[in-house]
Amino acid sequence: MCDRFVTLDSVSQMTGTRMFRIMQDMQRQRQNVQHLVPTRELLSAEDVGRLLKVDRSTVYRMAEGGRLTAVKVGRQWRFPVGAIERLLRTGEAAASAARDDREIMVRAIGSSLPLIELSAQLLGVMMIATDMDGRPVTELINPCPWFSDHADDPDFVTTCLGYWKQLADDPDFDVGFRLGPLNVECARTFVRVGPRLAGMLFAGGIDPTGQDERSLYRLSAEGRSRVLTYLPAVAAAVSRTAASPPSGVETRRFT
């Protein structure tokens, strides 16, 4: 019986110490917020990233997905100080940031690969899906000959991965053509799972001038317009299949 009482007392002391440390941590976090923006009511994405210990792209995803209270000021997200303080106190930010967006994207692709493959062929472009860190979750779909010839080149692959990562950090939601570091055009849109941004869908391998000597895809003005019209529609269809993808579907990955 004495041992039992001693054990309970020890547990009580440990619990009290732990609670005291948690309270100290919460106080320090609150002081960090106050020190960071003593005269502002809104925080930038960089401010929030430092406080939550996540990168800026994660902050953008949390804002777009509704997990962070935010307002748009021009083209930039801004975050009320009070909302961030509440997240720090409750620990919801850490739990939200820890969700595995990549696995959500893999489920979203699921049975949609045939649709993406058919769309790439009909639109006359190369397509690939990535998670929100720019990491591929499919192989290159309908690659142009020039990409196929270089797919085993480590420097080429590194350049592609770096560019997709760069676009993952770009919060621009307008769908348009972009000129990448390989002097090849692509268009990008987002895949959503419910309110969450789960990944990106690219249409690329496009000749930016129509006169490139490499074996890229050449699109007419009408063809370019079709890509910008149907790429978001394909992404929306992928999003709709996310809730219950059929079993036994293999998701092919780019390596």
Question: Three-state SS for 44?
Answer: coil
Q: What is the pLDDT of residue 170?
A: 80
Q: Are strands 42-43 and 126-131 parallel, antiparallel or unpaired?
A: unpaired
**What is the total count of domains within the chain?**
2
Q: What is the pLDDT of residue 99?
A: 52
- Tell me, yes or no, whether 27 and 128 share the same domain: no
For the chain, count helices (H), then strands (E): 10, 7
Nearest to 202 by CA among 183, 184, 220, 221: 184
Rounded Cα distance between 206 and 192, Å, is 25
Domain stop point among 97, 123, 147: 97
Q: Which domain holds residue 209?
A: 101-240
- Tell me, yes or no, whether 90 and 120 share the same domain: no
- Tell me, yes or no, whether 122 and 233 share the same domain: yes
Q: What is the pLDDT of residue 136?
A: 92
Rounded Cα distance between 86 and 89, Å, is 5
Residue 106 domain-assigned?
Answer: yes
Q: What is the pLDDT of residue 108?
A: 73
- Tell me, yes or no, whether 75 and 130 share the same domain: no
pLDDT by position in tens, the chain (length 255): 444 433 434 434 444 455 445 455 555 555 554 444 444 688 998 888 888 877 787 888 788 777 788 888 887 889 998 888 887 776 655 555 445 567 777 877 877 899 999 999 999 999 999 988 888 999 999 999 999 999 899 999 999 999 998 888 787 788 999 999 999 999 999 988 776 778 899 999 999 998 999 999 999 999 999 999 999 999 999 988 765 544 544 444 444
Q: Where are the beta strands (DSSP E) in 83-214?
A: 126-131, 177-179, 185-193, 196-206
Q: What is the pLDDT of residue 178?
A: 95
- Tell me, yes or no, whether 87 and 163 share the same domain: no
Rounded Cα distance between 96 and 212, Å, is 45
Strand order across the 126-131 sheet: 126-131, 196-206, 185-193, 177-179
- Tell me, yes or no, whether 88 and 132 share the same domain: no
- Tell me, yes or no, whether 198 and 105 share the same domain: yes
Q: Quote the pTM value.
A: 0.62
Q: Are strands 76-80 and 126-131 parallel, antiparallel or unpaired?
A: unpaired
Residue indicated by tokens 């406080």: 51
Instruction: Dig out the tokens for 251 from the structure.
Output: 């998701």
> For position 138, which CATH number holds?
3.30.450
245-251, long-range: CB within 8 Å, 24+ apart, which pairs?
245/107, 245/108, 245/109, 245/110, 245/111, 245/112, 246/110, 246/111, 249/110, 249/111, 249/113, 251/106, 251/109, 251/110, 251/113, 251/137, 251/138
Q: What is the pLDDT of residue 37?
A: 42
CB 189 within 8 A of CB 178: no
Q: What is the pLDDT of residue 163?
A: 94
